[in-house]
Structure 1
Amino acid sequence: MSLFRSVCTVSRFYIASSALVPGLLRFNTSNIRCFSSEKSVVHAPLFASENSINSVLTNSSILSISQHWKNTLPQGKKVSAIDLALNSVVKVFTVSNKHRTFQPWQFCLQDEGTGSGFVIAGRKILTNAHVVANHTSVKVRKHGSPTKYKAKVRAIGHECDLAILDIDSDNFWEGMNPLELGDIPSLQEKVYVVGYPKGGDTISVTKGVVSRVELLEYSHSATELLAIQIDAAINEGNSGGPVIMGNKVAGVAFETLGCSDSIGYIIPTPVISHFLDAVEESGQHVSFCSINLSYQNMENDQLRNHFKMSDDMTGIVIKKINPLSDSYKVLKKNDVILAIDGVPIGNDSTVPFRNKERITFKHLVSMKKPCERALLKVLREGKEYEFSISLKPVPRLVPMHQFDKPPSYYIFGGLVFVPLTKPYIDDASISKYALEKMPKKAGEQIVIISQILEDDINTGYNIFEDLQVKKVNGVQVHNLKHLYNLIEECCTEKLLMDLEQDNIIALDYKSAKKATSKILKKLEIPSAMSKDLKPRQLNRRRRVS
């Protein structure tokens, strides 16, 4: 992945506030988003000629555009999905609120934003997860209506950046038409992006072609899944809207490439169907599968000779395996994976995909259901083996995202302890090396000191911010809850903490305990710990006869 790839999600394009200059983009300091595109927005029908399009673009309301679309369609021709989109694509209004990264007991300023969505079968609305992430309010407005209807987030999949909305009002559903999912479009296939981007309040359509189909790291979740690159203009506010091919949906608009014109990305229908099927079966989003290992490509002849590969063999060599995965029980370091489910893996880790196209083998894994099995052909010390491995989602040591829930924290002696996450790494601008680490056992976390709340008790320790706490009184720290218990249950006069880089913190336990209360009161911090760390209150009510 190129270091220069600056991706932005494209839902929240401006804030409804008179204090802001109209049209200016408001940046979120915890996730700066860039955008650059000069491509014009075309409010026009699929089948109209260039002259008719120009006539429509001149002083035309959206109602006249809709009528023009109907008039330009050939008699007897089947109505296209673009026409149906007028009664399917909606504008989504959200109010969101999230906790601060470095003061997890506080909320950031409330944020108002907009995105797009569209109706699918079953009286549901599909949109992007990043449109409704950390929401406190979601409302939807359909085309031609001044009314905003309250919506409820029925299911959300942050990995695939998709969400399903429910609306109880029968009035909303009157005249609404569901759109149907289609196939993955071919290269150079024409597509149309429909939604409510910046620059206006009414529905808009932009036209383009498919540039490439490949796996992409989704910026919302840092999960690598199939994506389609198109050159149609995708602007802030388009997120969650459908991308139409023919009379069906080819994908959902969700990202654009920062500082580049005419490079947008859509979530393809296989990923959408995987999400919808999981929600239908379980009632909630189910994580995408991973083979849970790191590997090296085998493009060097000498490397292949070293692992005793014949001339007709291709594959990848295993470097590390996640101990929590089923692969760990079967595979070994330096095994060469030759094929998955009978599909040969190239020395560049790709497999055949459609007509003379190739795609990384991880796509085959990600499209499997949890606990579904994969047949791996493996070369081990010059001999071939076949292993059937159960694939399941495994939590990462460092979570890639944290949405829709309050963060965990613990304060003692002015030291603020938090579990390390990718959002924290991004905001603190610290090394991303920890992202490659794998857990040794379930529930493991990397606990760090996020900041030092100044007090005499912690004088000289301010240089230890962002360092990992390895041990408390000689006991290895497993996670934040474990650290909390070790400190709260300390029965020694001194509290010693071993940090990374061989640093040590020593505190007088009783003095640090008193200092904690003083610091909390001084800084008006409501609690020394997040709710998930607080001891559960026992039900002490007695039955009276």
Structure 2
Amino acid sequence: MRDTKRKRGRKPKNPTPSQPLQSAVEITTTASRPRGRPKKLPKLPDNPDPLPPPPILSPCRHVSNGTAIGLGGGSGGGELAGDPIAARVVPGMDAVVKVFCIHTEPNFSLPWQRKRQYSSSTTARVKVQKRWANTKYLATVLCIGTECDIAMLTVNDDEFWEVVSPVEFGELPALQDAVTVVGYPIGGDTISVTSGVVSGVEILSYVHRSAELLGLQIDAAINSGNSGGPAFNDKGNCVGIAFQSLKHEDAENIGYVIPTPVIQHFIQDYEKNEAYTAMDMKPEQKGVRIFRVDPTAPESMVLKSSDIVLSFDGVDIANDGTIPFRHGECIGFSYLVSQKYAVKVLQGFALNGKPVTNLRRLAEMVENCDDEFLKLDLEYEQTVVLRTKTAKAATPDILATRCIPSAMSADLKALRPWT
């Protein structure tokens, strides 16, 4: 063996091999070859068919789930080829504007300037603003429908009408149809969208004038500021206008929408008469409409449903149902009704062919009747025939059985003998 000279120092833990160790990992720049036999590639034809062109989509907006959604004009968004789910149409929100009702008061301490502007429900200046623009345009009120709670505005500036597509009206929706309400409610400055379904279709009481008109009940959120905003169906057509909601501790998500039949009636009335004529009344005429008359009431012979009461006892009734009271005050016209006394009027009632005008006349005719029969002609062509002697003889027993103290009231007894 060959003697090796050992160096001074600490003995190494691992003896140095005679040949250098090779690294366990070898890094190369070429890709490693997979194991096994290589796969055969499919043979392409000499003249392959050209690929079909990509589908042409209408202007659309992509949401987070990747669905293409069409915008505006009633034309839906494009649908990807082979996608089994149809694209949901987004309403034409570009046609929805924000309305500003501005009111200013005079400054009497500084007559050369006015006080600060603030929002008001009754104002002479109305401005509108498109959702993608910062300019506010002065609007003109063409007509106001107080019964249906709708107002029609127009803008004389031609710049406002650029790049604005009108919405299309749809049919009256059915129950459980999807609706989308668009507007500018309280809590934000940008446009807001809420969705729900139609919960009911019925005659509603419109708060603005207490008119009974057709309305839609929906469960989409309608807050302060949503009034006047359109409600769209799943096809992008406008099916109504949001106008009120029910605020109650036991109610949640109950909103109301003016349906298209009421809206179209309002528009057609303006196109025909250049004004909202409502009940075909003259501009100087005012009054209240009768909604319903009890068919069993005597007033049904005179008053009918949808009649207009212009005055009461010579006092004109305003459109809001008020009358002048004291100086500078108004009060509901029911005050005049409360000053009257109830009088029983028997219309369409006859005894033995003779008309009966009141209870005193009826009591007199029954007591003085000497005919064999009592024939009473009632309403709705009903007739009651009694034997006179038998009916008078049975009166005491009937009073005792029914616990009725007397056959007539004390004031009628005081009128005897009949005059």
CA deviation map 1:391-414 (0-9, x unaligned): x65547543539xxxx9979xxxx
Task: Answer yes or no: is the 8 Å Cα contact 1:400–1:421 preserved in 2.
Answer: no
- Give the letter aligned to residue 65 of structure 2: S
- Give the letter aligned to residue 157 of structure 1: G
Task: Answer yes or no: is the 8 Å Cα contact 2:244–2:255 preserved in 1.
Answer: yes
CA pair 88-420 structure 1, distance change in 2 beyond 3 A: same
Task: Answer yes or no: is the 8 Å Cα contact 1:48–1:73 preserved in 2.
Answer: no
CA pair 293-223 structure 1, distance change in 2 beyond 3 A: closer
Task: Answer yes or no: is the 8 Å Cα contact 1:318–1:332 preserved in 2.
Answer: no
- Deviates most, 163-172 or 283-292: 283-292
Alignment match, 2:99: 92
CA pair 165-417 structure 1, distance change in 2 beyond 3 A: closer
Distance in 2 (alpha carbons) for counterparts of 1:81 and 1:165: 27
- Give the letter aligned to residue 94 of structure 1: C
- Give the letter aligned to residue 420 of structure 1: I
Mapped pair 1:266 → 2:257: yes
- Give the letter aligned to residue 182 of structure 1: G
Task: Answer yes or no: is the 8 Å Cα contact 1:48–1:72 preserved in 2.
Answer: no
What's the CA shift for 1:292? 3.5
Mapped pair 1:177 → 2:165: yes
Uncovered stretches (5+) of structure 2, i.e. residues with no partner: 1-59, 106-114, 281-287, 341-419
Alignment match, 1:112: 118
Equivalent pairs counted in the alignment come to 253
CA pair 148-252 structure 1, distance change in 2 beyond 3 A: same
What secondary structure is seen at the aligned counterpart in 1 of 2:153? strand
Return the match for 2:192 from 204, 216, 226: 204
Highest CA radius of gyration, 1 or 2? 2
Mapped pair 1:281 → 2:277: no
Alignment match, 1:420: 331
Distance in 2 (alpha carbons) for counterparts of 1:419 and 1:65: 53
CA pair 216-286 structure 1, distance change in 2 beyond 3 A: same
TM-score by length of 2: 0.51
What's the CA shift for 1:215? 1.1
Return the match for 1:74 from 74, 79, 89: 79
CA pair 71-178 structure 1, distance change in 2 beyond 3 A: closer
What secondary structure is seen at the aligned counterpart in 2 of 1:320? helix
Distance in 2 (alpha carbons) for counterparts of 1:400 and 1:96: 24
Alignment match, 1:399: 318
Distance in 1 (alpha carbons) for counterparts of 2:216 and 2:260: 10
Task: Answer yes or no: is the 8 Å Cα contact 2:95–2:164 preserved in 1.
Answer: yes
CA pair 393-81 structure 1, distance change in 2 beyond 3 A: farther
Alignment match, 1:443: none
Distance in 2 (alpha carbons) for counterparts of 1:88 and 1:237: 17
What's the CA shift for 1:214? 1.0
What's the CA shift for 1:152? 0.6
Alignment match, 1:344: none
Alignment match, 1:118: none
CA deviation map 1:374-401 (0-9, x unaligned): xxxxxxxxxxxxxxxxxx6554754353
Distance in 2 (alpha carbons) for counterparts of 1:146 and 1:288: 40
Distance in 2 (alpha carbons) for counterparts of 1:90 and 1:169: 15
Q: Percent identity of the aligned residues?
A: 35
Alignment match, 2:237: 248
Distance in 2 (alpha carbons) for counterparts of 1:97 and 1:159: 27
Distance in 2 (alpha carbons) for counterparts of 1:187 and 1:47: 29
- Give the letter aligned to residue 225 of structure 1: L
Distance in 2 (alpha carbons) for counterparts of 1:215 and 1:229: 10
- Give the letter aligned to residue 278 of structure 1: D
Alignment match, 2:183: 195
Distance in 2 (alpha carbons) for counterparts of 1:293 and 1:97: 38
What's the CA shift for 1:199? 1.7
Alignment match, 1:145: 133
- Give the letter aligned to residue 274 of structure 2: G
The 5-angstrom pairing of residues 373-412 of structure 1 reads 393-395=308-310, 398-399=317-318, 401=320
What's the CA shift for 1:244? 0.4
CA deviation map 1:280-338 (0-9, x unaligned): 11111112489837433xxxxxxxxxxxxxxxxxxx434525xxxxxxxxx448xxx9x
| Cα-Cα RMSD | 4.4
Task: Answer yes or no: is the 8 Å Cα contact 2:97–2:128 preserved in 1.
Answer: yes
Task: Answer yes or no: is the 8 Å Cα contact 2:180–2:196 preserved in 1.
Answer: yes
CA deviation map 1:168-209 (0-9, x unaligned): 011110011111221111011100001111121111110000
- Give the letter aligned to residue 293 of structure 2: Y
What's the CA shift for 1:222? 1.3
The 5-angstrom pairing of residues 503-514 of structure 1 reads none
Uncovered stretches (5+) of structure 1, i.e. residues with no partner: 1-45, 56-63, 99-108, 114-131, 297-315, 322-330, 338-361, 366-391, 423-432, 440-545
Runs of 4+ in structure 1 over 6 Å off? 46-49, 64-67, 76-81, 407-410, 435-439
Distance in 2 (alpha carbons) for counterparts of 1:292 and 1:181: 31
Alignment match, 2:147: 159
Distance in 2 (alpha carbons) for counterparts of 1:438 and 1:280: 44
Task: Answer yes or no: is the 8 Å Cα contact 2:79–2:87 preserved in 1.
Answer: no
Distance in 2 (alpha carbons) for counterparts of 1:184 and 1:91: 25
The 5-angstrom pairing of residues 262-411 of structure 1 reads 262-288=253-279, 292=290, 294-296=292-294, 316-320=295-299, 331-332=301-302, 393-395=308-310, 398-399=317-318, 401=320
TM-score by length of 1: 0.40
Distance in 1 (alpha carbons) for counterparts of 2:87 and 2:117: 39
What secondary structure is seen at the aligned counterpart in 1 of 2:151? strand
The structure with the greater share of residues assigned to strand is 1
Mapped pair 1:229 → 2:217: yes
Distance in 2 (alpha carbons) for counterparts of 1:288 and 1:258: 31
Mapped pair 1:52 → 2:65: yes
Alignment match, 2:351: none
CA deviation map 1:420-466 (0-9, x unaligned): 348xxxxxxxxxx4497899xxxxxxxxxxxxxxxxxxxxxxxxxxx
Task: Answer yes or no: is the 8 Å Cα contact 1:228–1:267 preserved in 2.
Answer: yes
- Give the letter aligned to residue 228 of structure 1: L
Alignment match, 2:363: none
What's the CA shift for 1:135? 1.4
